[in-house]
């Protein structure tokens, strides 16, 4: 009987002890709660930011596996936050999905800023869950060696 080989990223001991974190940067509270509820239902921990700068700060402090990044935020745009994170070696490996009701934002702009994917609004829940799973696995894999290092070493200094 064949059995799967390769690491199961979501079921090893380390992952079970340390919940995978997903940051949601979204200024529309209804969207924030909806997206957060979907993520929580998948067993991930949600971090919430309603501004770009808070999103940037939480991403640097907590190094989530994935960020769901609204493009239109009240201070600096989600594209700007993504550019800053992708330009920084400490946060470049965090997966980012840009999201917007304006299709123009998905038309190259999010990719140019460094987003790993684009999700149009209104959000289609089944599509979002699929995207969430694939990007979280990628983000957790990218985090691997440094995650171990960080767990064994002193508190990282930004
Ligand atoms: Mn917005």
Report whether pLDDT(145) > 90.
Answer: no
40-64 b/e with 16+ CB inside 10 Å = b? eeeebebbbbbbbbbbbebbbeebb
Q: What was the pLDDT predicted at 7?
A: 46
- Concatenated DSSP letters for 87-111? TSTTTTTSEEEEEES-HHIIIIIHH
What is the whole-number distance in angstroms between the Cα of residue 40 and the centre of ligand 1? 21
CB atoms inside a 10 Å sphere around CB 14: 12
Rounded to whole angstroms, how far apart are CA atoms 25 and 98? Answer: 10
Type and span of the H or E element at 26: none
**Residue 124 pLDDT more than 50?**
yes
Find the 91 Cα to ligand 1 centroid distance in Å. Answer: 22
Residue 86 CA, ligand 1 centroid: distance in Å: 21
Could you tell me if 60 and 69 are in contact, meaning their C-beta atoms sit under 8 angstroms apart? no
pTM here? 0.79
With a CB cutoff of 8 Å and minimum separation 6, the contacts of 10 are: 20, 137, 140
67 Cα: distance to centroid of ligand 1 (angstroms):
14
Query: Token pair of 89, please?
Result: 């070696």
Average pLDDT, the chain: 84
Ligand 1 centre distance from Cα of residue 42 (Å)? 24
pLDDT in tens, 33-68: 999 999 999 999 999 999 999 999 999 999 999 999
Three-state secondary structure call for residue 21:
strand
- Residue 137 is predicted with a pLDDT of 80
| Residue of 65, 55, 56 lying closest to 24 (CA atoms) | 55
The CATH code for residues 18-142 is 3.40.50.2300
Say how many Å lie between the CA of residue 10 and the centre of ligand 1.
31
Mean pLDDT of 118-141: 88
pLDDT at 106: 79
Mean pLDDT, residues 123-147: 78
């Amino acid at each position: 009987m064949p059995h799967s080989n390769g690491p199961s990223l979501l079921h090893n001991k380390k992952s079970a002890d340390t919940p995978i974190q997903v940051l949601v940067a979204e200024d529309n509270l209804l969207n924030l709660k909806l997206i957060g509820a979907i993520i929580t239902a998948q067993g991930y921990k949600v971090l919430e930011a309603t501004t770009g700068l808070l999103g940037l700060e939480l991403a640097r402090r907590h190094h989530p596996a994935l960020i769901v990044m609204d493009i239109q935020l009240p201070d600096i745009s989600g594209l700007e936050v993504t550019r800053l994170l992708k330009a920084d070696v400490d946060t470049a490996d965090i997966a980012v999905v840009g999201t917007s009701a304006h299709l123009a934002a998905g038309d190259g702009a999010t990719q140019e800023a460094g987003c790993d994917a684009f999700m149009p609004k209104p959000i289609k829940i089944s599509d979002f869950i699929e995207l969430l799973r694939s990007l979280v696995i990628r983000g957790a894999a990218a985090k691997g060696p440094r995650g171990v290092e960080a767990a064994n070493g002193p508190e990282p200094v930004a």
